[in-house]
Structure 1
Amino acid sequence: MFETLRARLFARAAPRPEEAKASRTAPLIAMQAQGRAVWSPRDAASLAREGYMKNAVVYRAVTMIAESAASVPFLAYQAAAEKPDHPLLALFADPNRRQSGTAFFETLYANLLTAGNAYAELVMLGGQPAELHALRPDRVKVVPGADGWPEAFDYTVGGATVRFHDPGAGGIAPVLQLRLHHPLDDHYGFAPIEAAAMALDIHNAAGAWNKALLDNSARPSGALVYRGEGGATLSAEQFERLKAELETNYTGSVKAGRPLLLEGGLDWTSMALTPRDMDFLEAKNGAAREIALAFGIPPMLLGIPGDNTYSNYAEANRVFWRQTVLPLVGRTAAAMATWLGPAYGGAVRLTYDGDAVDALAAERESLWRRLEAASFLTRDEKREAVGYGPDGESEAKAGSASWTS
C-alpha cells in the first residue's frame, strides 16, 4: 500500500496538451449539425418575391440604399500611407468580366438587404485574387465545423452542389459571408424585410384590395333583400334570372357605377365599409413608413406623406447617408480588408471616401470653415483633421527657420 501511495505522489504528471484558443460555447453550437448544411429558418426566395418584387416601397428602399452605397469609392491604406494604385482597388473596379465594380457591389448590397446575407466568391489565379463574383443567397447553405463556425459553404443549382471549403489559418477563404445581426441564429443574418413583415403584408393587402375593387367595382357590396308580402320568397327561376342579370349588367370595370334597377319587393342593403371608414389610405401610408423605418430611410425620401421628422429634404438626405449608407459601406470595407488582406501581405486597411459624396458637401464646407478659423492648429494638423496627409510645407518652413537661426 505504501509503495502504491508513493508511486501516486511522485509519479510524473502526464504532459499537458498544447493550449489553443477556442470559445467554450462553440461545441454546443457544433452539436446541432456538424458537417451538414444549416438551412435558413426563413425562405430568402419568398422574401425577395413578396417584398422586393411585389412591393414598391421595399423595391425602392433596397435599390436606393444599394445604388448609393455602391457609388461610394474605397480608399486603401498601408500603415498610414494612402495607396491609390493598390491592386485591391483595381480588383474592386473590375471584379469580373460580366460586371463593373459598381454593379458587383450593388448586387452584394441588395442581397444583404433582401436576404440578410450576402456572399462573394473569390477566384484565385497564380496565387493572387483575380475575380470576385456575387452569389445568390437562396442557393448558399452554411456548413458548420466541429468548432461551430462555418467550415464550408454549399452552393446548389438545379440539384448539383459545389462545396467551398475554408482553407483554415493562413489561407484565404473562397467565399465571404456578409450578414446582418440575427439575435437567434448562429449562421444566418436577419433581413430588414423580416422585421417589417407585418407592415409588408398590410401594404400588399391594401394594394390587392384596391385591385379587386377596380376589377369588381360594379358588383354591389351588399345584399338584395326581397320584401314580399306575407313572408314570400323568390322562386328558383326568379333567383337565377336575378343572378344572371347582375352578372351580365353590373360586373366589370366598364360597367362601374351603373345604378341598380330594382323591381317591386327588392331592396338594396349596403354591407361594406367605405375606405374612409377603414382609414384605408392612412393604414397603407403607416405600413409604408414602418417599412422605410426598418431599412433606415427617412419616409420623406420615398415620397410617403405624413412624415415631418426633418425640416427639409436635404436634411433627411444627410441623415440617410450618415446613418444608413456610410455605416454599410464601412462594415463592408472592413470585411473585405480582413478577407483579402492576406493576399497582399496582410497590412491593408480599407475605408470609404466620404469627400466623394455630394450629399455631404454642406457638412464638408462647414468643417473646412471651422478649421480655417482655428489659428491654434498648424496647416498639417488641419489637413489631418479632414483625412489628408501632410503636404510638407510646414516641415520645410520649420527646417528653414531652424537653419536661419
Structure 2
Amino acid sequence: MPILSSIKNFFYAPEAPAVATETKVITGVDAIGRVTPFYSSSFGGDSFTARTDVNAVFYTILNAIQTAAKKVQWSVYKLEKDENAAKIPQHPLAEVIYRPNPNQSWTQFVETFIGRYLTRGNVFIYALRAESGLNKGHIQRLYIMPDTVEIVAENGWLGGIISYRVPNGSGYTEFAPEDVLHVKKFSSCDGLYGLSPISAMALPLKGIEQSLKQKIRILGQGGPATVYWTESSDNENVEPLTLEQEMQLNSRIVGGKSSYVTQKLDSTTIGLSPADLEILENIAADGGMVADALAYPSLLLSGSKSNTYSNYSEAQRALYENCVIPLLNELRDGLNQKWGSAYKDKAYIDFTTEKVAVLQPNTAELIKSAQSADFLTVNEKRKLSGFERLELNGDVFLLSAAVQVNEKLEADEPIGG
C-alpha cells in the first residue's frame, strides 16, 4: 500500500464516496412579481443557498467589476536571468488566452468567471488537454462548466477528489480531477463548496427587495394613500355605506373610474408612516452593506451625487485594488498552479494594468522624484519614470555639483576638526 494511502487511512476509516448534490427550488417572488429561483447545494450535511436571480444593487456592482476587468490585458510571460519578465507572444498558452474556446473570447471568459464566482461562490473550469505527443498535457481549450457540477469525493478531511460529474439527462458525464480547476470562495463550514456571497448577504439583499417593493407599490398607487369619507352636518341623517358599497366605491377610485353618490364626499392625503419612510431610507444603507461585502467602493454607487473628482478617482483605484485585481489573481494563480507544470519552459499566464489609466502614476511627479534620487543610476531613474533604458552611459550616477563639493570638503577636513 502506498505511504500516502496509509497516512490517509490513519486519519479516517474508508467509507462509500460522499456526493455533493445541488438542486433548484422556487421560493417566493421578487420586487416586481417574478418568481425567485434558488440554487441549493449540500455536502455531508452542510448546505448553502445561492440566488440565481440577483437584485438590482448586486447586479450594478457586479457589472461594474466585470466592465473594469475588461480593461486589464493578459499575456504569457517568462522570467529572464535578471528576474525581469518578458512577454512571449508566440506560445501555446498565448493561443489559449486569445481564444479559450470556439464560443468565447478571453474577455468573455473572464467576465463569465467573475460573474459565476461572485454569484455562486464556485467556478469549475474544464481544460481539454493534449493526451499524447510532444505537447502532452498542454491546454487546447478552456471551458467554464455549468452550475450543475457535482463533486464526488473521498470521506475525511484528507480525502481527495474522485471526480467531477455533470448530469446529462440519462446519467452523468464524468471528468477527471486533473482536468478540472475548482475556484471557490472561502466557507466557514470547511466543505467542498465555496460560500456564495449572495447567501452570505441574504438579509441585506432581502431588505433591498422589500424596500424596492414598497417603493413600487407606492408609485403604482400614484403616491400616498388617500382616504374618502362622507361629509354631513348634525341636522342631516346620512345612512352609512354597506360593505358592498364600500368595496364598489374603493374599486372605482383605485381603478381611476368616477363614482357618484348622493352624499357629499371629501378627501385628504395620508402621508407615509414612519415605518414606510424608514424602509425607503434603508435602500441606500442596504446598498452600502452589499458594496462592503463585495469590497466595492460605495462611493461609486449612483446614490452618491456630491463626490468630488478626486474622491471619485480614488474610488476608481479602489475598485481595481480591492475588487478586480484580487479576482483576477485567483484566476491567474489557479490556472498556473493547476496546469503550468505541463510547460517545461516555465512560461506562465499573467495580466498587466499598464493600460488602465486610473492606475497609472503621474509622470511629472515621477520625473521630479527621480531627479532628486542621487542614489539611483540614470537607467534606474528612467525605469522609475516609465522610460526605456539607455545602452550607452546609462548605468552611471549623476551627482550634483553641490554634493561633489560637499564630499570634497568632508574628505579634506583634518581629523579632530
Alignment of 1:284-303 (within 5 A): 284-303=283-302
Contact 1:299 1:307 in 2 (8 A): no
2:143 to 122, 133, 153: 133
Alignment of 1:109-258 (within 5 A): 109-125=114-130, 127=136, 128-136=138-146, 138-146=147-155, 147-158=158-169, 160-166=171-177, 173-217=178-222, 220=225, 238-247=242-251, 249-252=252-255, 254=256
Contact 2:70 2:107 in 1 (8 A): yes
State the 1:273 CA deviation: 3.7
Which residue matches 1:42? Answer: 48
Q: Which letter does structure 1 place at the counterpart of 2:281?
A: E
Q: Which letter does structure 1 place at the counterpart of 2:208?
A: H
Q: Determine helix, strand or coil for the equivalent of 2:254.
A: coil
Structure 2 unaligned spans of 5+: 23-40, 42-46, 398-417
State the 1:284 CA deviation: 0.9
Q: Determine helix, strand or coil for the equivalent of 2:173.
A: strand
Contact 1:193 1:291 in 2 (8 A): no
State the 1:109 CA deviation: 1.1
State the 1:77 CA deviation: 3.0
Contact 1:26 1:148 in 2 (8 A): no
Contact 2:379 2:395 in 1 (8 A): no
1:82 to 75, 79, 86: 86
Distance 1:397 1:21 in 2: 60
Give the aligned length: 359
Alignment of 1:308-347 (within 5 A): 312-345=311-344, 347=346
Alignment of 1:331-370 (within 5 A): 331-345=330-344, 347-362=346-361, 366-367=365-366, 369-370=368-369
Q: Determine helix, strand or coil for the equivalent of 1:122.
A: strand
Distance 1:191 1:97 in 2: 29
Q: Determine helix, strand or coil for the equivalent of 1:42.
A: strand
Q: Which letter does structure 1 place at the counterpart of 2:173?
A: V
Contact 2:101 2:143 in 1 (8 A): yes
Q: What CA deviation, in whole Å up to 9, does each residue of 1:32-74 have, x standing for no partner?
A: 9734235522343xx121x2xxx22111111111232243122
Contact 2:48 2:195 in 1 (8 A): no
State the 1:183 CA deviation: 1.8
State the 1:89 CA deviation: 2.5
Distance 1:383 1:22 in 2: 58
RMSD: 4.1
Distance 1:391 1:109 in 2: 41
Q: Which letter does structure 2 place at the counterpart of 1:199?
A: P
Distance 1:120 1:62 in 2: 20
Q: Determine helix, strand or coil for the equivalent of 1:154.
A: strand
Shift in CA distance, 193/122, structure 1 to aligned 2, threshold 3 Å: same
Distance 1:338 1:152 in 2: 19
Q: What CA deviation, in whole Å up to 9, does each residue of 1:200-226 have, x standing for no partner?
A: 111111111222223344895769799
Shift in CA distance, 21/211, structure 1 to aligned 2, threshold 3 Å: same
Contact 1:74 1:333 in 2 (8 A): no
Distance 2:245 2:201 in 1: 48
Contact 2:226 2:270 in 1 (8 A): yes
Shift in CA distance, 371/288, structure 1 to aligned 2, threshold 3 Å: same
Distance 2:176 2:198 in 1: 30
Which residue matches 1:59? Answer: 59
Shift in CA distance, 93/202, structure 1 to aligned 2, threshold 3 Å: same
Structure 1 or 2: larger helix share?
1
Shift in CA distance, 48/388, structure 1 to aligned 2, threshold 3 Å: farther
Which residue matches 2:408? Answer: none
Q: Determine helix, strand or coil for the equivalent of 2:192.
A: coil
Q: Which letter does structure 2 place at the counterpart of 1:286?
A: A
Structure 1 unaligned spans of 5+: 1-16, 167-172, 399-405
> What is the TM-score of this pair, normalised by structure 2?
0.71
